[in-house]
Structure formats: C-alpha cells, structure tokens
Amino acid sequence: MAGSAPLSGPSGGVALVASGSARGEQQISNDQLGQRVDTNDEWIRTRTGIQARRICGPDQSLSGLAADAGREALSMAGWDADSLDLVLLATSTPDDLFGSAPKVQALLGARNAVAFDLTAACSGFLFALITASQFLRTGAMRRVLVIGADQLSSWVDWDDRRSCVLFGDGAGALALEACPADQDGLLGFQMRSDGSRGECLNVPQSRDRRPLVDGSSHQGGHYEPIQMIGQEVYKFAVREVPAILKALLQDTATSADQLDWLLLHQANQRILDAVADRFAIPHSQVLTNLANYGNTSAATIPLMLDEAVRDGRIQPGHRIASSGFGAGLSWGAALLRWQGPS
C-alpha cells in the first residue's frame, strides 16, 4: 500500500458506504437480435426474462466503464480518490491481459491506491468484496473501492442464438471503509469452487500451434468465444445457490424472513424465482434488472445494488442476502447490511 499508514489495530468491521454503476451505451432489443439470428422476443423473454441488453459503444472500454462506476461511488461517499488504499477490479474481460485495475486507478486519480484484478467470472464481485474486507478487518487499509465490470460482448459468438441472447456490458462499484465491529456490513460469507465442472461455461484458449524453430512450436495467444452448456449451468445454479444460501443463513443465525432483499447474480429470471421460492421470499423482495441488461457477469450484483440504493429501495440497516455463481465453476454468498454515506 502506498501513501497511507495502516490503522493502529484491527477495526473488525466493514462499512458498505456508497455505490456506483455504468453501462454500455448501445441498447440492443430482443427483436433487433432476431434480425441477425433465428430468435424472437417471446422465445428469449419466456426462457430468460431478458428483454434487452447494453453493449459498449465505439468510444467505451472495460476500463472506462469501471472508472465511471467508481467515480459515481466516490461521489456518493464524498471521498477524494487519493484517499483510497485499494482499487480491486473483478473482471474476466480486461482491456489488457496483464490486468486493467492499474489503468482504472489512473483514470480515477487514485494515486495512493494499490490496484489489481481478481478473476472469478460471475462470482467475481462477491469474491472481490470478501477479499477486500480482509484488508479492512485487519487494519491494513482504511478505504477500498471494489468494482465488478465485464464487457462480455467482446467474447460472444453473435451468430450462436443459444448464447448471444444472454450477455451484456456493464460495471458496478462499491465503496468500503473500515469501521467498528458493531457497525459491520459484511455479516457472513461462503465461497465455493469446483474446477471439475469448468467446461460447462468457459472461454478456452484456442488450440493454435505455430512453428517456432527447428521443429518446435508455440501456442498462439487467442481465445475462443464463450462456450456454455446451458442446461448444466442452470441445474448447477438451482441446486448450489439455495444450498450455499442455507449454509450462510445458518452460520449467521438469520432466518429468511429477517431479510429485506435477495440480490442474486442476474443470469436467468427463472433461477431468481426458483431460489426465492425455495426460501419463501416474496418476489417483491427479489432485486432484478435482468430484463434491461442481460448477464453482465461480475457487474450484475453491484449494478443492481446501485440502482436499488439510488431509487430508495435499499435503506440504511437493510439486510441483503446475495449470491454470485458461474464460470469456474465458482459460487459464493454474503449477508450484507447497507450503511450508506455518513
């Protein structure tokens, strides 16, 4: 960490202070996609709940989206960028294979912050939030900006009607601050991975071998478009998400009727409804904007969180059960308590 001394000792708590979001400037409706591939609005809506998705315009980039979301969070918090100790970017689609977080740090003017990427696909934001909280709990850092951002339109096969209807581009940010333990906003968490099922959803490196010297060859640096076995991913989500949420609620001695909101990764409306029904949570308490954005991977949870904070649905003190799930395969859950700006 540069430019800021650690706290004198562990604070024990993590305050969820402020949020921000950004999205691709181009809106593509289901009917518009039907002009390119053999699909239609009814087919997409009834199977996924998606009506449109946002795609980056020619002057937008992953780093730019992430920085825009971060600026909104800093503005809500009332923080100067140079007060940040860490910028943690959850993304699977960086502008630079070596990482985009340092670029985002520069765009924000967060000159005192260390910055690095974390890759866990659709679970990335929750994994990053949990990771960042450890720096704050130990007193090593005071203020952190966690950003979930993905530009999946770059990796979609737009002629594959099974997958091209699902994805979009967006970013969401959350400003976190060390606080006393009795004000903690991260009440519990669970994390899981199962690499044996990773081929159900991935972006594999192409098998492009090229001649080098004297009969040797090297691997070309290219990746295939998103590959997904949709039915397997669906079955994984409806099985594992309720299980990890149940474990989270048990560990935190929380009942479903004590929750104010259920905030899941926005992948498929049927998954959201199935999980809510499993816990007898009214659909009115399930936060969803999937219809307007599609699956923006690491961005879905913070983007939805920001919208609900800004329109007044989420209020200080509200308890939010959240779960991210997807490629890896990876999945996680966290019980959050919103604090808001002081």
Q: Tens digits of per-residue pLDDT, 268-295?
A: 999 999 999 999 999 999 999 999 999 9
- Predicted local confidence at residue 8, as pLDDT: 41
Average pLDDT on 105-110 reads 98
Q: In the predicted model, is pLDDT for residue 65 greater than 70?
A: yes
Average pLDDT on 108-113 reads 98
Q: Which of 209, 186, 211, 161 is nearest to 335 (CA)?
A: 186
Q: Tens digits of per-residue pLDDT, 1-14?
A: 333 333 444 568 99
Q: In the predicted model, is pLDDT for residue 47 greater than 80?
A: yes
Residue 292 bears catalytic tag: no
Q: Which of 5, 340, 319 is nearest to 139 (CA)?
A: 5
Question: How many helical (H) and strand (E) elements, i.e. helices and strands, does the chain have?
Answer: 9, 15
The CATH architecture that domain 12-183 belongs to is 3-Layer(aba) Sandwich (3.40)
Q: What share of the chain is helix, strand, coil (3-state, %, to 5)?
A: 35, 30, 35
Residue 218 bears catalytic tag: no
- Predicted local confidence at residue 342, as pLDDT: 82
Residue 122 bears catalytic tag: yes
Could you state, in order of their start, the residue ranges of all structural domains in the chain? 12-183, 186-197+225-337
Reported as type and span, the H/E element at residue 121 is: none
Q: Tens digits of per-residue pLDDT, 135-187?
A: 999 999 999 999 999 999 999 999 998 899 999 999 999 999 999 999 999 99
Q: Tens digits of per-residue pLDDT, 33-43?
A: 999 999 999 99
From the list 30, 268, 289, 295, the catalytic residue is: 295
From the list 164, 265, 268, 289, the catalytic residue is: 265
Q: In the predicted model, is pLDDT for residue 328 greater than 60?
A: yes
Q: What is this structure's pTM?
A: 0.95
The class level of CATH for 186-197+225-337 reads alpha beta
Q: Tens digits of per-residue pLDDT, 190-245?
A: 999 999 999 999 998 988 899 999 999 998 888 999 999 989 999 999 999 999 99
Average pLDDT on 250-256 reads 97
Average pLDDT on 301-315 reads 98
| CA pair distance 244, 194, nearest whole angstrom | 14
- Predicted local confidence at residue 3, as pLDDT: 33
Is 12-183's fold the same as 186-197+225-337's?
A: yes
Q: Tens digits of per-residue pLDDT, 68-97?
A: 999 999 999 999 999 999 999 999 999 999
Angle at 144 between CA 149 and CA 155, to 5 degrees: 15
Q: In the predicted model, is pLDDT for residue 302 greater than 50?
A: yes
From the list 56, 122, 164, 179, the catalytic residue is: 122
Q: Determine the residue type at 220.
A: G
pLDDT-derived band at 31 (thresholds 50, 70, 90) equals very high
